[in-house]
C-alpha cells in the first residue's frame, strides 16, 4: 500500500461524516488501482500477442489463437472501462 493510503487510513477524526469520507476515499483508490492493474494485464496480453500474418500479409496458423486472445482482451477492457455506461469519454468518442 502506498504512503497516501496509509495516511488516509491512519487519519482519525471525531466527525462521523469525515471518517466516512476517508473510508470511501481509501476504498475508491483501492478499486481504481485494481482496475489499473487489470487493464495493465490486458495491455501486456495484447502487446505479447504476435500478429497472425506473414510478411506477404497472408494469415498464418496463429490467426484463430490471435482472434480469440484479442476478442477476450477487448471484451475485458470494455467492461473495465465501463463502456456500457455513458461517460464524458464515451459520449464524445466517435462511434465506429
Residue 31 within any structural domain of the chain: yes
CA dihedral defined by 88, 89, 90, 91, rounded to 10 degrees?
A: 40
Q: Which residue has the higher pLDDT, 94 or 37?
A: 37
Range of the domain at 77: 49-96
For residues 54 and 19, membership in a common domain is answered with no
In a domain, 42, yes or no: no
Identify whether 44 is part of a domain. no
Whether 22 maps to a domain, the answer reads yes
Q: Who contacts 32 (Cβ-Cβ below 8 Å, separation ≥6)?
A: none
Query: What mean pLDDT do residues 63-76 have?
Result: 89
14 and 54 share one domain: no
Cα within 13 Å of Cα(30), Cβ side: 11
Q: In this structure, are 58 and 30 located in the same domain?
A: no
- Which pTM does this prediction carry? 0.65
State the residue for C-alpha cell 476517508: 22
Q: What is the mean pLDDT of residues 31-51?
A: 89
Report the distance separating Cα 65 and Cα 62, nearest Å: 5
Query: Domains in the chain: how many in total?
Result: 2
What would the pLDDT profile of 3-12 be if each residue is shown by its tens digit? 888 888 888 7
Average pLDDT over residues 27-32: 91
Amino acid at each position: 500500500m502506498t504512503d497516501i493510503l496509509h495516511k488516509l487510513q491512519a487519519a482519525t477524526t471525531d466527525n462521523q461524516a469525515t471518517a466516512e469520507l476517508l473510508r470511501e476515499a481509501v476504498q475508491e483508490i483501492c478499486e481504481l488501482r485494481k482496475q489499473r492493474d487489470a487493464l495493465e494485464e490486458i495491455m501486456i496480453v495484447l502487446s505479447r500477442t504476435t500478429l497472425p500474418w506473414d510478411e506477404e500479409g497472408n494469415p498464418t496458423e496463429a490467426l484463430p489463437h490471435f482472434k480469440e486472445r484479442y476478442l477476450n482482451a477487448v471484451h475485458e477492457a470494455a467492461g473495465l472501462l465501463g463502456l456500457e455506461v455513458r461517460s464524458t469519454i464515451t459520449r464524445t468518442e466517435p462511434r465506429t
